[in-house]
Structure 1
Amino acid sequence: QLVWPELNLGLPWTSFGRLRPLHTNAVIFAFGGSALFASSYYVVQRTCQTRLFAGKLASFTFWGWQAVILAAAISLPLGFTQAKEYAELEWPIDILIAIVWVSYAIVFFGTIAQRKIKHIYVANWFYGAFIITVALLHIVNSAAIPAGFMKSYSAYAGVQDAMVQWWYGHNAVGFFLTAGFLGMMYYFVPKQAERPVYSYSLSIVHFWALIFTYMWAGPHHLHYTALPDWVSSLGMVFSLILFAPSWGGMINGIMTLSGAWHKLRTDPILRFLIVSLSFYGMSTFEGPMMSIKTVNALSHYTDWTVGHVHSGALGWVGLVSMGTLYFLVPRLFGQKQMYSMKAIELHFWMATVGIVLYITALWISGVMEGLMWRAINPDG
């Protein structure tokens, strides 16, 4: 539509401004959220050697989450929005999300409380941090004053609203799309490789370092805006610090294959998981680099940002979720393996090549856009 506006078919429901939030909510919350619910329920039962706490409440979290997705799919094309990125849904849906999320926390932490073994495996630490933090982020950022059934005004205004929004927005990436999926990685990579985690102590350092630093990185989304300069500088510093624990986690995941590298030749499921870690490493190098103010002056408001987000969302989240799905489905349905390993192989190569072409095109166009804008002075 940006190239050929008539592609919106002359309909308000199919315009870019309504389809784009539908797209982001579908990828993050419908696809990513469902993958996290399913995998966390499986992992917490296996690692705690017990059944899920409050089985009926767990069923409610499934149906409640599907209701949220359905409400989003209907309300966003109709133009009901709070105009906050990744938090567009109006207040009645926000309340449902909060109820489902609290139920999720009760099921997850209730299961850990009734575990049969003393040790809490590191994957559960990551899942637990993701659940607690997303609850905090959602409740604080979605605080609003209702002005009708599907209309509300944010409880914050001006610069404060922007700061709260990007505290939420960046940590939605940091905890929903990173910490939650790292929990997935720390269980399914060792299981599929049939090797223990390369360094368990590194996984604990990785966990605490991420938890302490991610929360502060949000202001890097607001460089060169009305934000106080010290706040955006603080966001930049913490973003640069984040590089270390992120790469520590990536190396820990990839090195779990020590002594099992040969399996990559024959196991496409393991390939999904390991290549996803490579994309995770790429994204977490690129993110801190783009948070540096001089780099951000070129990259901000260009397609480079879109490419960066998709190397994380498609390359990391998408591939690790697919690897996990291919691991889970045969075990959940009592089969020895997936119906066709050749189809998984084809899926892997199509996905990997497609994502690389996609993000490379956006990197190049983004840098070109930034350079074009720099070629124009304030007088045009």
Structure 2
Amino acid sequence: MKTRCFAVLVTAFIGFVSCAQDKNPINTDHDYEIVVSDLTIPWGIAFLPDQSMLINEKEGKIIHFKDGKKTEVQGVPEVYNRGQGGLLDIMLHPNYDENGWIYFTYASSEGEGNGGHTALMRAKLVNNTLVNKELLYKATPNTTKGQHFGSRIVFDNDGYLYFTIGERGEQDVNPQDITRDGGKVYRLNDDGSVPNDNPFINEPNAKKAIYSYGHRNPQGMVLHPETGKVWTNEHGPQGGDEINIIKKGANYGWPVISYGINYSGTKFTDITEKEGMEQPLHYWDPSIAPSGMAFITSDKYPGWKGNLLIGSLKFKYLDKIILSDEKVIKEERLLDGLGRVRTVVQGPDGYIYVGIENLGVVKLLPKN
């Protein structure tokens, strides 16, 4: 069967859009079941100690799913729900059993300027209500642009908290400037204070929480289960989505270097590498529009332990990535065509749970 590409005229300014297709093979050695149905954009998932789920709906709701029932959590802060912004990631403190802290990122209109920007908050959950809310970080200035809020959260093995913020559609202003928020990976102590060994702590006017810069829109982040390194993925423009391993103080190059081009088909840079800027571990062309990511560390999936999973928003599948020595050697499509994959986590039971837009949360199962 012959596949045709039709160029679609969007506007005189946009030009023609490519319909390049993803070439990864489909893996059929798996099944799934829908665990939580009727969700719109399940952006983040966190499991409580009783194995119930907290699910962030982008529109601004936290859903507590327990014993087959969905309850809306009260006390959620007002969310700036515009474009790619809204209620984003959610994660428990590594010592949640002792301190009860829940961390989440969201687009907030608080502070300077119209519009919104990404914020990080922590709170405790009592009787399905958020209490003791503490705003730990709020990026500035606000903007009415709807692009590139980030944002994922991860704790490393030393207890530091990392979170991402996209460059908010200001590629020529924010990502290469450490005095401005946006296009960065940030590192804080769990109480929101800045570690005294952060790379730009002594730089005049720098945002002291910055850990790395030169990012476009990192919407996936996970800790490598063996090395303890922080891995991210981020959206490129047309082509040039990336997987990166985050290094202290490093510059990841956006928009000076990139493997992508403008959506109109024109170039914004002629170089893909430059001294002092990091190369990605892997890049995609065509873009898959990567979202949440997780490593498989359980024995529930024979032969899959150590594989990396990344959601594809564009092609509507879960990308199973086989690695060797921090190199991608093969990719396969799981849950192919089920919907836009927004987030993926490994649950306390060892199974993989996937948030899919306009469907819900599905449990990935090995095929019997």
Which TM-score applies when normalising by structure 2? 0.31
Structure number having the greater helix percentage = 1
Q: TM-score under structure 1 normalisation?
A: 0.31
Q: Which has more strand, going by share of residues?
A: 2
